[in-house]
Structure 1
Amino acid sequence: MVYIIIPESKPDARVMLEVEAKFAVRGLDAIRSRLEAMGARKGRREQERDVYYNAPHRDFGETDEALRVRYDDTGVTLTYKGPKVRVGGAKAREEHNLVVNSGETLETMLSSLGFRRAATVSKTREFYYMGGVTITLDTVEGLGTFIEIEILTEDGRDDAAARIGAIAKEVGVDGPPIYTSYLEMLLFKR
């Protein structure tokens, strides 16, 4: 999956692409060992709770948009994700993030404006870094374990996608990439 990242601080800055692939895995121990053997630098481990909202004036499930309030160890972030669009053999979506001081106040405001809670996704996420690549190992409540491999690039999405595929193979991922979000997977499971 490819995400279009629009820098918030510099209107004239170049648009960055976040090229990402997510894979379901049976367990994380073997992948951790392979990442360490490959020289990946272990980063933080954190709990994330993502509260998704639906708009009163349109159904985000139908428009393929998302509005998320993320609580993690660093604070609270409001994220809008635009509809997915095809970019070559991958997908892209516009994404805007805003750090907020109080998630509770933000959620009260959203509810007062008619936005409805759609679902909550809770996960434990472990970060690894290797030569411009971010790898996360996710344990998602109610869904299982996953690996996400991400590369931020200005224009080399095909190179990034090939590199992601090579890393996935090297760490022992044997299944196809998953293009649905954790939210979509959780709602489908219900």
Structure 2
Amino acid sequence: MAQDHFKGQFEVELKYQIDNVQRFKDALASIKHQVRFESNNEVDWYYDWPNDSLKAQNKHLILRDIQPENIQLWIVKGPGGDDCEASDILDLSAAHNMLKTLGYHNTLTLAKTRSMYFVGDYHITFDHLDGLGYFAEFAIMTDDEASLEYHRSQLTVLAEKFGLSRHEEIATSYRQLVERLR
């Protein structure tokens, strides 16, 4: 079941900054959900060409290490906000070396603590990033491009159960938030 949550070419995601962590946890406790994992440590390495052409095209090439789950992923996002592909990798060190051999360079390393919950077909990630705070992402992966707006509306309804409104949604990626602090 868990793997079905992460299949698809498109990702519909609504992100919110969480100012009241207890209110978020209380809302989660009040709805039927499954815990995928809690308090994992994730590290994302963003790669780009020396001229930052991927960033200029609003594309992201990311290697992710998830511990203690021992999951390593190759992730490509963009150019559209809903375009996302992820694939398991077996050897994170080899993937880093391959990208460097091809001429990519690491532009950002981002660490976060992440918990993930399943609510029906949707998943909720609850993240903490040092210096940025707490965030919740309400999301689904799908191959059905025609269903993106439907899922966006359903995710909005789900977020409202947490006291979050559409006008509070953050369209900025973690990468952009960190770069603004530099």
TM-score (norm 1): 0.80
Residue of 146, 161, 176 corresponding to 2:168: 176
Residue of 91, 101, 111 corresponding to 1:102: 91
CA contact (8 A) 2:65 2:73 kept: yes
The separation in 2 between residues aligned to 1:102 and 1:157, in whole angstroms, is 33
What residue ranges of structure 2 are gaps of 5+ in the alignment?
1-5
Runs of 4+ off more than 3 Å: none
Establish whether residue 75 from structure 1 lines up as the match of residue 71 from structure 2: yes
Amino acid at match of 1:105: A
| Cα RMSD, aligned residues only | 2.3
Would the alpha carbon gap of residues 111 and 152 (structure 1) be closer, same or farther in structure 2, given more than 3 Å must change? closer
Q: CA deviation at 1:98?
A: 3.1
Establish whether residue 29 from structure 1 lines up as the match of residue 18 from structure 2: no
Q: CA deviation at 1:40?
A: 2.0
TM-score (norm 2): 0.83
The structure that is helix-richer by fraction is 2
Would the alpha carbon gap of residues 80 and 159 (structure 1) be closer, same or farther in structure 2, given more than 3 Å must change? closer
CA contact (8 A) 1:21 1:148 kept: yes
What percent identity do the matched residue pairs reach?
Answer: 25
CA contact (8 A) 2:10 2:85 kept: no
Residue of 124, 127, 130 corresponding to 2:119: 130
Residue-by-residue CA offset, 1:60-84 (whole Å, 9 max, x unaligned): 2211111111001232112222312
CA contact (8 A) 2:18 2:24 kept: no
Q: CA deviation at 1:59?
A: 2.1
The separation in 2 between residues aligned to 1:66 and 1:17, in whole angstroms, is 14
Amino acid at match of 2:160: K
